[in-house]
Chains A and B, each alone.
Chain A
Amino acid sequence: MSVALDITLCALVLGVGWATVAGHGVFRAVIFFITYGLLLAIVWARLGAYDVALAEAAISAGLTGVLLLAAHGRLRRLNASQEVPLHLNLPAAVVAVGIAAGLGWAWFALPAPTAPDLSQALPQSGVGNPVTAVLLNFRAWDTLLESVILLAALLGLWMLARDHAWDKPLGLPYHARPGGVLASFGRVLPPIGLIFGVYLVWAGADTTGGAFQGGTVLAAVCLVTIMAGVLHAPRVEQAAWRAALVLGPGVFVLSGIAGAVFAQGFLALPPALAKPAIVTIEAALTVSIAVTLVLLVIGPPDEGEQDA
């Protein structure tokens, strides 16, 4: 019975993946991509990787979906072509097939890695969730650089702003009828979403969850309130929002330097202090991730007049 389910899931993932790439219009491709993300999340859950499943559903299907839909909306307003050219892009196909073949060869040629036994190191990490232990203690480098990459992506996006729009609110203005369906949704959802987002971060120390998943949920809540017209979109110059952007990477780097001075090395956490340090870093990271994702989705400062 479960084998049949797995085979169906695999077929669905492959079929929807193919439909995403081979579709005719941009909108179709976006919708298939979101479906693809949700199916992948189910696959991860079937494999028992609940942390990855949550991240896949929240970031890949949810947030990236909103990003792509917003991009599609902008394209449509500019009257850009919605047709995806159907002819084969030969250089891209050669590169893609080459990479796939190389990865396939490596999969069979390389010896299976012997993962270090986490169960012995886990008690020293300060947390009970092995994923969080790896992300914030054993391989903190990767996570630190990831948080900086998010920030760099946002700076790259802001570079697209026109000079005279720099002090305008971020993104295009959103309209919602006061007292309408979207406006009430923007008031009903946030309390539940806030609790769930903070819970995901807090629970991430010992069970499924973490800064990225929780941050994405908080970002989604913030986006809904902005789109519903309950909150105003921030401006680039507002110091509090900028501080929120650098809080996570800042706290992370400072704790890394503290590790270099007082412990064995950069980003090293002494076992006695590991738990409070990880919770502090995760809390700061969550704020930065949430704010960065919100600002990435609503886009660069824009007066929005040329679209009218």
Chain B
Amino acid sequence: MADLATYLLTGLGLVFFIAGTVGLVRFPDQFSRLHALTKGDNLGLGFIALGVAFQAESWAQLAMLALIWVLALLAAGTVAQLVARAALTEQDKP
């Protein structure tokens, strides 16, 4: 049962990663590419962490997985904002 949940959730996570990557390659401008990348990756990592969580042996491991996801969310969100802001100022310049 736990294995099945791991397969399903990590598979779902991979789908989000692939969707984010396709968006990164295919979308027309920087902002929508950024949107695809951060949203796809954050959800993908979340599902993979959730899937791996079914294999955890202790509460400490669960807490670490959650911490990894939260830190990655924080970093990705911040970086996306900064890249978008840099792109905006670049757009206004010429």
Contacts and interface: CB of A to CB of B under 8 A. Distances in A.
Interface in A148-195: 181-182, 185, 188-189, 192
A185 B71 contact: no
Interface size class of A (residues with CB under 8 A): under 10
B73 to A, nearest CB: 12
Contacts, number: 12
Contacts of B82: 181-182
A274 B74 CA distance: 40
Interface of B: 71, 74, 77-78, 81-82, 85
- The A contact surface, by secondary structure, is helix
Describe B's contact surface by its main secondary structure: helix
A192 B77 CA distance: 17
Contacts of B74: 185, 188-189
A182 B78 contact: yes
Given A181-B85, A189-B74, 10 more contacts: A181-B77, A181-B78, A181-B81, A181-B82, A182-B78, A182-B82, A185-B74, A185-B78, A188-B74, A192-B71
Interface of A: 181-182, 185, 188-189, 192
Contacts of B77: 181
Most-contacted residue by chain B among A181, A182, A188, A189 (CB, 10 A)? A181
12 contacts: A181-B77, A181-B78, A181-B81, A181-B82, A181-B85, A182-B78, A182-B82, A185-B74, A185-B78, A188-B74, A189-B74, A192-B71
B78 to A, nearest CB: 4
Contacts of B78: 181-182, 185
Contacts of B85: 181
Nearest to A228: B78
B71 to A, nearest CB: 7
Contacts of A182: 78, 82
> Max chain A CB contacts within 10 Å: which of B71, B74, B77, B78?
B78
